[in-house]
Amino acid sequence: MTSGRTGPADTTSFTCGVLLKGANGPGYPGVRNYPLIRNMQTSKMPLQFCGSCGIRRHFDVQTADSGQRFECPSCGAVTCSESSFSCPALLVLSLVFAEDKLLLVKRGQPPYEGKWAPPGGFVEAGESLEAAAIREVNEETGITLNEDQLLPLAIQSLPTLNQIYVAFLIPLKQLIPPVPALPDVLDARWYSENDYPTNERWPPAEGFDIGPIYDSVRCKRFDFYQRMENAMRVITTGHKVTYLWRKT
């Protein structure tokens, strides 16, 4: 679920998009074949990772009148742009809780194959953040949600990966047996705080203390996490701000 292109944005506008060649590419089961086109700002560093499966760039580059086409040899996705630059990728994560347990999936595709992570993935063209989160949870675990259940939990800006994550908290009244979507998802389970797979979690979660999120769900406390380029903080009731870490 993590791919990336590095570099800060400049003021040169361009059109970029991703054309999915197959309907069952890694991370995109059942997706229709259509280009994802947006008018956005470019970044100063060229594309380094596949926007679909996250594999580091070893693309077959073709140049046409409409710009360059980068074909990923791993999943077959084609990234199209008018230049060799790419806009930030927008992704969603869903932290689904029920009966004091968190829903995690065991990834079956790179990057982070075999690691446990919350359900999530890329936002598609013409799709809201909430719709993307609901779709990803359903595709990966078979659990159906509705947008009224989604509470904002976090926004993470990762310029080194050229990604933006939006996370939702979804508290359910009772456990629902998940059905993993093989082969993209090898397993799906509910984890209590004591059983949380710290040693097998996906690398983006390393160093993050999941305990306060479990606690906020138990206490029905609203916490909002904000990850910036040089800091991460949590904002609670009364606009109280606590920095979890900060680069100096």
Domains and their CATH numbers in the chain: 9-81 (no CATH), 89-246 (3.90.79.10)
Q: What is the pLDDT of residues 183-217, one digit of tens each?
A: 999 999 999 999 999 999 999 999 899 999 999 99
* Residue 233 clears pLDDT 90, i.e. is over it: yes
* Residue 18 clears pLDDT 50, i.e. is over it: no
131 φ, ψ to 5°?
-65, -40
User: Tell me, what's the pLDDT at 162?
Assistant: 87
Q: Hey, how many other C-beta atoms are within 10 angstroms of the C-beta on 101?
A: 19
Q: What is the pLDDT of residues 29-83, one digit of tens each?
A: 333 333 332 333 333 345 556 666 665 555 555 544 444 566 777 776 665 554 4
User: Tell me, what's the pLDDT at 57?
Assistant: 55
> CA 151 to CA 166: how far, in whole Å?
11
139 φ, ψ to 5°?
-65, -40
Q: What is the pLDDT of residues 92-113, one digit of tens each?
A: 999 999 999 999 999 999 889 9
> CA 138 to CA 146: how far, in whole Å?
11
Which residue's entry shows tokens 């679909």? 52
CB 81 within 8 A of CB 15: yes
Nearest CA among 204, 219, 147, 179 for reference residue 1: 204
* pTM of full prediction above 0.85: no
* Arithmetic mean of pLDDT, 173-178: 98
Q: What is the pLDDT of residues 132-145, one digit of tens each?
A: 999 999 999 999 99
* Arithmetic mean of pLDDT, 163-181: 97
> CA 241 to CA 20: how far, in whole Å?
41
